[in-house]
Structure 1
Amino acid sequence: MWDYFLVSFQKKYVGAIYVKAIRLEFIELRQGNMFIADYEAEFLRPSCCAPGMVVDEQYKCNRFEFGLRSDLKMQVAPLQERVYEALVEKTKICGEVRCYVDGSTHSYVSRVMVEKLGIRVDETVSDVTIISPFEKFVHVNKIYK
């Protein structure tokens, strides 16, 4: 009922060019440097102006996933989440982990300095792949605390 009212209202009062522009903006939306919460807000904004763009939950999830940065997309896609709210929450968790990892890899410490400063070193069970601030994948097997 509400969707019908909105569509009827838009046909009468909102220009077709405006609705077309909103649809195009939605299709081209990418996360880029936005925080996940900001990307989600931008993602949801057009749905109030142009209903019918998001036909079902599956499509909504696919579009949201498509616009994510590639590093997040690689983490979220294998989950195959098809409930939008759950997908957003899992993406936020992946984003928080990514931020933590980026923050902890901004510098590389030489072994001599580690010994000189008495910094504790923990070895990991296996190699860990991290993404450096320069968007490069780095394999590490030690954590300096």
Structure 2
Amino acid sequence: MLKGEANYWWEAKKTLETTFPIPWTRFTELFLEKYFPKYMENQMELKFLEFKQGNMSVAEYEAKFTELSRCVPYHVDTDEKKAKRFQQGLKPYIQNRIAVFEITNYTTLVQKAAFMESGSELYVKDANVKKRKFQNHSGRSFEKKVEN
């Protein structure tokens, strides 16, 4: 259901078509040509290929990855390609730990990455709890790791 300018465009465009009813594939082709030109597709492809997790959590990264991948379906048209591309954008410490498992299933990869991330956060939190600050007589502070 097209509205506004898109509806006006379609009403004018369909009068130029020679086959009726107009096949869905043809409509999509015309629609994308008008509202998602090749230069935009190229920009989205580049954005997708350069996309990295950065400071996002695995869950945030996965949501944005899914959003961007809709614009370039040929890069994620198999589960294995999708998993590989997702893994390439993960933070290096997660990517390196997960690579040894050679996971080709996207859902499994996302779950393992989230598990690795939460495990690392717990490790860092536990290590910080074990550190205690002491002050010596000169007023300088230093950290001493308390061993269990």
Distance 1:100 1:5 in 2: 51
Distance 1:46 1:109, change over 3 A: closer
Matches within 5 A, 1:56-95: 56-95=78-117
Alignment-derived partner of residue 65 in structure 2? 43
Distance 1:66 1:60 in 2: 10
Distance 1:4 1:71 in 2: 45
Distance 2:107 2:26 in 1: 24
Alignment-derived partner of residue 25 in structure 1? 47
Q: Gaps (5+ residues) in structure 2?
A: 1-23, 135-144
Aligned residues: 114
Distance 1:49 1:85 in 2: 20
Write the letter of the residue equivalent to 1:75. R
What's the offset of the Cα at 1:8? 5.6
Point out the structure with max Rg over C-alpha: 2
Matches within 5 A, 1:57-136: 57-106=79-128, 109=131
TM-score between the two structures when normalised by the length of structure 1:
0.66
What's the offset of the Cα at 1:91? 0.7
Structure with the larger strand share: 1
What's the offset of the Cα at 1:109? 3.8
Write the letter of the residue equivalent to 2:83. C
Write the letter of the residue equivalent to 2:38. A
Alignment-derived partner of residue 14 in structure 2? none
Distance 1:5 1:98 in 2: 49
Write the letter of the residue equivalent to 1:56. T
**1:20-70: CA deviation from partner (whole Å, max 9, x where unpaired):** 111101100111111000100111112223332323111111111111111
What's the offset of the Cα at 1:12? 3.8
Contact 1:58 1:83 in 2 (8 A): yes
Q: Gaps (5+ residues) in structure 1?
A: 113-141
Percentage identity across aligned positions?
Answer: 28
Alignment-derived partner of residue 119 in structure 1? none
What's the offset of the Cα at 1:18? 1.3
Contact 2:130 2:147 in 1 (8 A): no
